[in-house]
Amino acid sequence: MSRRGRLAVFSVAGLGLAVLLVAAFLDARPFGTAFHPLGDASVRASLLERATANTVASITFDQRGLDTMGEEFILFAAVLGAAVLLRRDREEREAAAPDERREGRGQVGHMPEVIRLAGYLVLPFVVVVGIYVVAHGHLTPGGGFQGGVILATGLHLVYLAGDYPALRWLQTNRIFEVSEAAGAAGYVLLGLAGLAATGAFLYNVMPYGQLGQLASAGTVPLLNAAVGIEVGSGVVLLLAEFLEQTLVLREPGGNRRAGAGG
């Protein structure tokens, strides 16, 4: 179908969809309604029965933990798919080989010293904040998903700092592939522990403790940690797949100048 035909069909369909949406919205509950029966029941369950201060974390990992396992594995599969799609085929590997032998000593481009220093200075703070967000996910806003991506972006401060040899080491060492699999497996193992103890998968088998304490909410902190490791490693792997080509063929001020930004 031609471009004009496509846009014409879309304008008709889009108009119809808009009309239907407005009709549906006119019938919806008013914005800010006080009628949230499921939400109120979840809050009661989280505070009174499960001693979890962060009710969102209680729903994500305790009351509806199976859905989170599914979402975690969507992430796993997406990282796997991206890795498969972006693997270097034979011609690219041969083209890249001589440059790779020459690289490995220098740094990426001409990174100003200030940026490199700032990257190294901020990195430990970002890692600590990421671990804090994961560890306190059942008490304050945060958790495995949020802390995991903070950790992953923290690691890419190393890239911003221009430390090419460190990134090369990280990529060839397969450490993040192992940790991602370990995080995903950890979640399933905790679920199996619940299955073994009570016959229900992902049942919360650890003692609930007292509301507001660090050691509370049963298995929620452990599941948070597993998801944090898995999400963090997954996002690092994902970005590494995209960075790989733009890193390997860079030469500091050389003739084969290729890199981010075109």
Structural tokens at position 170: 């990280």
Among 50, 103, 134, 142, binds other proteins (CB under 8 A): 142
Relative orientation angle of helices 113-135 and 144-155, to the nearest 10 degrees: 160
CA 184: distance to chain centroid?
Answer: 12
Among 111, 158, 170, 243, binds other proteins (CB under 8 A): 243
Q: Check binding of 204 to other proteins (CB under 8 A).
A: no
46 in contact with other proteins (CB under 8 A): yes
Stretch that binds other proteins, among 45-53, 116-124, 184-192, 197-205 (CB under 8 A): 45-53
Q: Is 8 in the site for other proteins (CB under 8 A)?
A: no
Please list every residue from 145 through 174 that binds other proteins, using CB under 8 A: 145-146, 148-150, 152-153, 156
Segment near other proteins (CB under 8 A), from 25-33, 166-174, 185-193, 197-205? 25-33
Q: Is 6 in the site for other proteins (CB under 8 A)?
A: yes
Residue 47, interface with other proteins (CB under 8 A)?
Answer: yes
Using the minimum distance from each CB to other proteins, give the nearer residue, 87 or 197. 87
Closest residue by Cα to residue 61 from 204, 235, 181: 204
Using the contact rule CB under 8 A, the part of the chain among 98-106, 141-149, 162-170, 199-207 near other proteins is 141-149
For other proteins, which residue of 139, 155, 161, 229 counts as binding (CB under 8 A)?
A: 139
Please enumerate in sequence order all residues whose Cβ is within 8 A of that of 18, keeping only pairs 6 or more positions apart, or say none: none
- Residue 259 near other proteins by CB under 8 A: yes
Q: Which is nearer to other proteins, 34 or 199 (CB)?
A: 34
Q: How far apart are CA 91 and CA 98, in angstroms?
A: 13
* 123, amino acid identity: L
Give the C-alpha separation, 24 to 27, whole Å.
Answer: 5
Angle at 153 between CA 172 and CA 88, to 5 degrees: 35
229 counts as binding other proteins under rule CB under 8 A: no
Residue 108 sits in the site that holds other proteins (CB under 8 A): no
Q: What is the per-residue binding string for other proteins in 70-99, x denoting contact by CB under 8 A?
A: -x--xx--xx-xx--xx--------x----
Which of 178, 188, 176, 199 is closest to 70 using CA atoms? 188
Neighbour tally for 5: CB within 10 Å:
9
Residue among 170, 166, 133 at smallest CA distance from 149 = 133
In whole angstroms, give the CA distance from residue 146 to residue 231.
9
- Of the candidate residues 108, 184, 231, 233, the single one contacting other proteins (CB under 8 A): 231
User: Does residue 242 bind other proteins (CB under 8 A)?
Assistant: yes
Residue 76: CB atoms within 10 Å: 18
- Closer to other proteins by Cβ: residue 146 or 163: 146
Minimum distance from CB of 196 to other proteins (Å)? Answer: 26
What is the distance between the alpha carbons of residues 151 and 143, in angstroms, rounded to a whole number?
Answer: 12
